[in-house]
Structure formats: structure tokens, C-alpha cells
A and B are shown apart, each in its own frame.
Chain A
Amino acid sequence: MVEKRRAPHAKRKPAKPAALPAGKPGRQARSSPASAEVRALRADLDHANLQIKQLRRESDDLARRAQDGEHAKSTVARLSQELQNRTLRMEQQLAVARQFQRLFMPPALPTFPQVRFAVKYQPSPRVGGDLYDVCDMGNSCVGILVADAAGNGLSATLITAVAKMAFDTYRQNEYSPKVILEKMNLHIVRNTLEDQFLTAFLGILDLETLRLKFTNASHTCPILYGPKRFELLDTEGLCCGMFEEARCEEKEIQLQAGDRLFLYTRGLVRTCNARNQAYPDRRLHKLLRANRDLEVGAMVEQVAEDFARHLGGAEQAEDLTLVGVEVAPRETKEERIVIPSEPMQLSRVESLILSRLEALNYGERVLFAVRLALEEAIINAIKHGNRMDKAKRVTVTFTVDRNECVVSVEDEGPGFDPDAVPDPTADENLELPHGRGLVLMRAYMDEVSFNAKGNRVTMRKKAPWAR
């Protein structure tokens, strides 16, 4: 509603009307002073009328604008609702994309006596386009694929889907990574849009000769490192899915027992933290070199943890895929795995050591015994040694060969005197809620010994046929 306004001052001040001569009637001669006054009055009146008309127009205008304002508000409300709906739909699409993403990854990594694999796959909330595969190719060959599709969201997922299907198809009965990637390239070019492509590294390892054939199609170079070498694996080759005529190069390299391969995707080296720094190559190389004796799964975890430390709280904008490969040494080598003092970490160590025992057919009784002794020793280390302090670690070292299994568990606590522990099987101690761990370890393992400080226990169990 527009308030009525008082008439603004006119531009021309009205002349003060002269008083009419008193007593005289209305009719005046034209040129008399009275008619001039009337004319002046009339002019002022006309002017005032004009102003009133003007005011009326303005007030109508304002009323119309007010109406438009209401209209504008409702438009904004409608558009923001629309935006919310679209965002929701996009989130739903991303959720679908995420589910698909999981389908492309192998459910489990194959196991071979000569070579060990581990993978750390951490998809980004934005749904990136990482792809990896470790597959038995037959003829004693294993294929190792790591790939990274451009972009994210549904587009990246689609590229990954096409690439995965192409890989599964073209690797059948084919042992040249160059041939496989070139066929994949053609397939991806023809089945995706212009700006859809992916980088890829494909290695095919002959498990008998330990020769590795590989082709790198613009992917982050895997690192091959061992006691006597440290090199990046690169070849000529454009991304898959860019040009039909693209050709790539294939190289071959001889691996030795003890060599390790570390493969990864762009997410590791391109994501920046809050200080706009990417994870430096130097840091990665140093970490890999310093931990050559770390069990390959533990090594991959360690890189992931170091990367998380570098990232701080920043968002992981791209998928992270880390693949570790270890060529098993012929002689028995001691392996090491380090866990924080959390009981939940126990299963990691357990499955690792027990899988080695299973692979050598140690049998159910020995597996039971080692599982029990290991659990007791680790829980003791966490609860009594490290007093449940998550900052303190438990280091488990082990060797498993055809003769025996040897496991050591060390905590970062002050140690204890194992001989001073009361015997829980004595009548007076039977009702104690704790203390049976040692008894069980000694009963189930062939040998249990402690270091002088008392924070490291070593247990040995002979293979059933060696008893």
C-alpha cells in the first residue's frame, strides 16, 4: 500500500494572492488585478494537478514493483528448490556410480607361491575413475593392471566400465601387454565420448622366469625397487581412448627374488593438502626404500597412512589406489608387521600368518595352536605391555617355512618378569579373571621364550611332519 504523500513544494512559489477588494461581486474585467490573481491561482492549481497525476503514476509504479518483488521472491524460492532436487539426484547418481565402481574391482587378489600382492583402494567421495586388476592369465602368468579414468562422477565410472570389459575380453589368451592395451584403446575410443579416456599400466609377469613385460600408457610410473635397484617403469604410449591410431611400446625386464613393485594412481601424487602441496615423490621413494622388509600389505598400508598424514584434513578429491607386489625370496626371510595397540588390529596379523601356514599345509591343529598363541601374545602386548595406549605399537616378526613357524611379538612397554606371574592353574588362583594367556601360549607352542627386558616373546611351532 502506498501512503499518500503531501504535495512537494512546487518549483515556482505561488504569488501570494492579493486580497479581493471587500464587498465587490465576482465578475471582473480581464485586465483587472483580480483576474490576474485568478489566473495565477489557476496556474498553480493546474500545476498541483499535474503533480498529483505524477504522484499517482509513481504510486502505481511502486505498487507494480512491489508485486514484481513478490514474484521475484517466489521465483528464487522455486529455483532453489529445483537446485536442491538436482543436487539430490546427482548424489543419488553418485551413489549408483559408487556401487558400480566396487563391481569393477577384483573381490580378492590371487595368491601364488612366488609372488605376493597387496592393494589399498580408497575411492574418493566424488567418485573417481580408478581401476585395478591382478589376474591369473594362465600359462604361469599374472597380469597387473592399474588405470585411471579422466574426470569423476558417472562419466569416470562409465569409462572404467568400458575399460574393464575391454580388458577382460582382450586379455584372454594374450600375453603381450602392448597388444592388449592397443585393442583396449580402440575399443574405448569407439565406445566413449571424445573427452573420455584413461591412463593405464599393464604388466604381465611370467612366474617361472620372473620376466616382466610391461606397457605404460601415460600412467604414473610404477616403481621397481630391490636390494640392487630402484627404477621407474615407463614406455611410449598415449592414454587409452584418445586416438584410434595410437600405438604403444612394450618393454621387458628381469625381476629377482626380493624385488618389489609399487603401482599407484594419480590420486597419490596430485591431491593437494591445505598448503597446496602435493605428496612429493622424494617422500614416497624414501618410504619405500626404508621399509623393504615390511610385509607387502603392511607396506601399502604405511604409504596410505603417510599420505593421509600429508593430506591433513583436506578432502581426498581423487581415488587412491596402491598396489604392492613382492617377488618372494627363495630363502626364508623374516617379515615384519607393525600394528597400533588396538585389539581390532589382531585379525590382520592373524590372517596374514595363518594364510602362510595354510599355504604350506600345516593342518588344522597347528593352525588352531598358532592362532591361539598369537592372539594371547598380542593381547598381552596390547593390554599389559602397552597398557592399551594407542600411540604405542606392537611389532610382530615372523618366518614360516617348511620346517617351522617362528613368531615374535614385541611391545613398547617396560617389560615384565614372566617367572613372577602367579600360576593361574594353582587352586588358589583358579578364580582370577586374568593370567591364563602365558599358560596357553606355553601349552600350545613348542617353545616360548622372552628377551631379558620382558617386552618381547618368541614362540616356535614345528611343522606337523617335522615333529
Chain B
Amino acid sequence: MDEASVVSLEVERRGAVCLVSPHGRIGEAEAHPFQRELLALADQGAKKFIVDLSDVSFMTSSCLGALMVVHKRVRPQGGYVRLAGPQPLVLRILEITKLTRLFGSYRTVREALAAK
């Protein structure tokens, strides 16, 4: 694992929800640091994650795996991982792997926040 890889992302708290906005690609190199960042937030008590994918141009199964790890961590605590605004090519990945059902995928961040 290469510790030097970094995924560029912003984190914003909206009440009880942690809004995470990564940028660019989340492939093999970026998935591990991405997972670490989210788990660190979970350590600090965050349970409800909305991942804004509007600026993510590419992802691989490693990214899905990372999201899965976080999902399994917060779900038992009543939390969730929701995906918002995926680009068409990325949305297709989520649909093919049927993860839109598991995570919940929304067209916008607002819809993701508003959902129950």
C-alpha cells in the first residue's frame, strides 16, 4: 500500500450529517486513503455520510470496497452512506454492481439530505 497517495476531498458538517466531496478519480491508489479518511471521521463520531460524487470522474471496485467498509461500520449504529450526484459513467458502475440499492444514490446532495 502506498501511503503517499492522496485523494483530494472536502468535508463539511451539516448538523448530524457529514458531507464528503472527493474530486477526480477514486481508483486503486486513492481508495485506501479515502477509506482511512472516512473511518477517521467515523472514529470522531460521524455516522451519517453523504458522498458528493459530482466531481468524481472515475472509480473502480476498490472505491466501492472502501464505501462498503464504512457502510458496515456505521450501519449498526443507525448511520448510513449515501451517494449524491454521480456522473453518468460512474452511475453505471453503481447500477451494474447493484450498489445503488445498498447505499442509496440520489441525484443531488439536497435530495440525499432530505431522504429519510
Q: Which residues of chain A have a CB within 8 Å of any CB of chain B?
A: 342-344, 346-347, 365, 368, 371-372, 375-376, 379, 424-425, 430-437, 439-440, 443
User: A343-B1, A376-B61 given. 20 additional CB < 8 A pairs?
Assistant: A342-B2, A343-B29, A346-B28, A346-B29, A375-B27, A375-B60, A379-B60, A379-B62, A425-B97, A430-B99, A431-B102, A432-B68, A433-B68, A433-B69, A434-B61, A434-B65, A436-B97, A437-B60, A437-B61, A443-B96
Main secondary structure of the interface of A (DSSP, over half): helix
B39 CB to closest chain A CB (Å) equals 13
The answer, among B60, B96, B102, for a CB contact under 8 Å with A430, is B102
B7 CB to closest chain A CB (Å) equals 14
Query: B72: CB under 8 A from chain A?
Result: yes
A427 CB to closest chain B CB (Å) equals 8
The count of residues in chain B whose C-beta lies closer than 8 Å to any C-beta of chain A is 23
Per the bound structure, the CA–CA distance linking A166 and B25 in Å amounts to 43
12 contacts between A and B (CB under 8 A): A343-B28, A372-B58, A372-B93, A375-B28, A379-B60, A425-B96, A425-B98, A430-B102, A436-B61, A437-B61, A440-B60, A443-B96
Per the bound structure, the CA–CA distance linking A46 and B58 in Å amounts to 108
The answer to whether A430 touches B98, judged by C-beta atoms less than 8 angstroms apart, is yes
Residues of chain A contacted by B64 (CB below 8 angstroms): 436
A148 CB to closest chain B CB (Å) equals 33
Closest 6 CB pairs of A and B: A436-B61, A425-B98, A433-B65, A443-B96, A433-B68, A437-B61
A-B contact count (CB 8 A): 61
The answer to whether A372 touches B2, judged by C-beta atoms less than 8 angstroms apart, is no
Per the bound structure, the CA–CA distance linking A25 and B108 in Å amounts to 136
The answer to whether B29 touches A440, judged by C-beta atoms less than 8 angstroms apart, is no
Residues of chain B contacted by A372 (CB below 8 angstroms): 58, 60, 93
Main secondary structure of the interface of B (DSSP, over half): helix
The answer to whether B61 touches A431, judged by C-beta atoms less than 8 angstroms apart, is no
The answer to whether B89 touches A440, judged by C-beta atoms less than 8 angstroms apart, is no
B87 CB to closest chain A CB (Å) equals 10
Residues of chain A contacted by B61 (CB below 8 angstroms): 376, 379, 434-437, 440
Residues of chain B contacted by A432 (CB below 8 angstroms): 68
Taken residue by residue from 39 to 55, chain B's Cβ proximity to chain A (1 for < 8 Å, 0 otherwise) reads as: 00000000000000000
The answer to whether B72 touches A431, judged by C-beta atoms less than 8 angstroms apart, is yes
The answer, among A365, A371, A425, A434, for a CB contact under 8 Å with B58, is A371
Per the bound structure, the CA–CA distance linking A430 and B61 in Å amounts to 13
B22 CB to closest chain A CB (Å) equals 17
The answer, among B2, B60, B68, B93, for a CB contact under 8 Å with A431, is B68
Per the bound structure, the CA–CA distance linking A439 and B64 in Å amounts to 13
Which positions 62-89 of chain B face chain A at CB distance < 8 Å?
Answer: 62, 64-65, 68-69, 71-72, 89
Per the bound structure, the CA–CA distance linking A434 and B99 in Å amounts to 13
Which positions 1-41 of chain B face chain A at CB distance < 8 Å?
Answer: 1-2, 27-29
User: Which B residue's beta carbon lies closest to that of A371?
Assistant: B58
The answer, among A343, A365, A376, A439, for a CB contact under 8 Å with B89, is A365
The answer, among B2, B28, B97, B102, for a CB contact under 8 Å with A440, is B97
Known: A376-B61, A437-B61. A343 touches B102 (CB 8 A): no
The answer to whether B96 touches A439, judged by C-beta atoms less than 8 angstroms apart, is yes
The answer to whether A440 touches B93, judged by C-beta atoms less than 8 angstroms apart, is yes
Residues of chain A contacted by B68 (CB below 8 angstroms): 431-433
Residues of chain A contacted by B1 (CB below 8 angstroms): 343
User: Which B residue's beta carbon lies closest to that of A435?
Assistant: B61
Residues of chain A contacted by B99 (CB below 8 angstroms): 430
User: Which B residue's beta carbon lies closest to that of A346?
Assistant: B28
Residues of chain B contacted by A379 (CB below 8 angstroms): 28, 60-62
Residues of chain A contacted by B93 (CB below 8 angstroms): 372, 440
Residues of chain B contacted by A433 (CB below 8 angstroms): 65, 68-69, 72
